[in-house]
Copies of this chain bind each other. A is one copy, B any other.
Amino acid sequence: MNPQARRWKCVCAYDGTDYSGWQSQVSGNAIQDLIEGALEETLGNPSRIHGSGRTDAGVHAKGQVFHFDASWKHGGESLRKALCTRLPQDIRVLDARVCPSSFHARISAKGKRYLYRAIEGSASPMEFRYWASLPVHRLDLDAMRMAATVLVGERDFSSFSASSGDSCDENPVKNLWQLDVRRTGKRLKIQVEGSGFLYKMVRSLCGALFDVGRGRLEVHQVKEILDAKKRTSLVVTAAPQGLCLEKVFYRKVKFRR
């Protein structure tokens, strides 16, 4: 790290529909690639950014966090604006501020909040990017909430993760604080909060809850699947477009803008 460099913490939002996900890809069509490109243009030299975690292709974020080291001499607001002018409209940097060099977007994270949006029926042309469509019949919310109580708590979530090359060493025990199902008319929202999430865990939890709501899975089966600590074909991953990373939680530290 350049001795004049400081660590920057940024919050960003994006519509993931047209991207291959957060993590850098050979194709260069990942959100990380675009932000690193904008950063290189702004700073005049390449800089690697570190996100709080990946989001899959098609998944959105309102509060993704990343950090990087750079010797930018101006303020956070001018850095934020400089990045925004170099990014497409569906990726926005919402905040940029100097943080302690001990801060790490992924390692320092204490938890995350996700929101999953689904419509019973077809999503309109203005909705299909942000709402998953569920086959038209009314889901059993009571059953879904019952299944949610089985899943909340400190548990081994191996059954609700998909294997991925680089996270095989990750501890599968996570603390799920909240799995809250709400309905307004034909719109369902599932708010998910926890200490951390395995690969595709949120979408797998939501997929299981939808199947409980449809009567394809019984609540006791959800308990059995969880206890088996092994993914089975009974667990379906819900569609990516319904998912949004709402917020990443950190211990309160004073940051300077």
Question: Is the Cβ of A89 less than 8 Å from the Cβ of B14?
Answer: no
- The answer to whether B91 and A15 touch across the interface, beta carbons within 8 angstroms, is no
A112 at interface by CB-CB < 8 Å: no
A140 interface residue (CB < 8 Å to B): no
> Is A7 positioned at the interface, with any CB of B under 8 Å from its CB?
no
Chain B residues with Cβ below 8 Å from A89 are 125, 128
- Docked Cα-Cα span, A60 to B129, in Å, equals 15
A157 close to chain B: CB less than 8 A: no
A130 beta carbon closer than 8 Å to chain B: yes
In the complex, A13 has a CB within 8 A of chain B: yes
Chain B residues with Cβ below 8 Å from A128 are 89-90
Closest chain B residue to A88, Cβ basis: B125
Are B13's CB and A90's CB within 8 A?
Answer: no
Chain B residue at smallest Cβ distance from A18: B18
Q: Is the CB of B92 within 8 A of A14?
A: no
How far, in whole Å, are A13 and B91 apart by their CA atoms in the complex? 26
> Is chain A's interface secondary structure helix, strand, loop, or mixed overall?
loop
* Chain B residues positioned under 8 Å from A60 (CB to CB): 125-126
Query: Shortest CB–CB separation between residue A94 and chain B, in angstroms?
Result: 8
From 19 to 60 in chain A, residues with beta carbon under 8 angstroms from any chain B beta carbon are 60
Q: A126 near B122 (CB under 8 angstroms)?
A: no
Cross-chain contact A92 with B15 (CB below 8 angstroms): no
Query: In the bound complex, how far is the Cα of B124 from the Cα of A13, in angstroms?
Result: 8
* Cβ contact of A15, chosen from B62, B90, B126, cutoff 8 A: B126
Bound-state Cα–Cα, A193 to B128, Å: 27
CA distance A157 to B130 in the complex (A): 38
Chain B, Cβ-Cβ closest to A90: B125
Q: Which of B13, B125, B126 contacts A125 (CB 8 A)?
A: B13
CB interface residues, A 121-156, toward B, < 8 Å: 122, 124-126, 128-130
Q: Are B126 and A130 in contact (CB under 8 A)?
A: yes
Q: Which residues of B contact A62 (CB under 8 A)?
A: 124, 126
Partner of A91, one of B125, B129, B130: B125
Which 5 pairs, one residue from A and one from B, show the smallest C-beta to C-beta distance?
A15-B125, A90-B125, A89-B128, A14-B125, A13-B125
A sample of 17 inter-chain contacts (CB < 8 A) reads: A13-B124, A13-B125, A13-B126, A14-B125, A15-B126, A60-B125, A60-B126, A62-B124, A62-B126, A89-B125, A89-B128, A90-B125, A92-B122, A92-B124, A92-B125, A126-B129, A126-B130
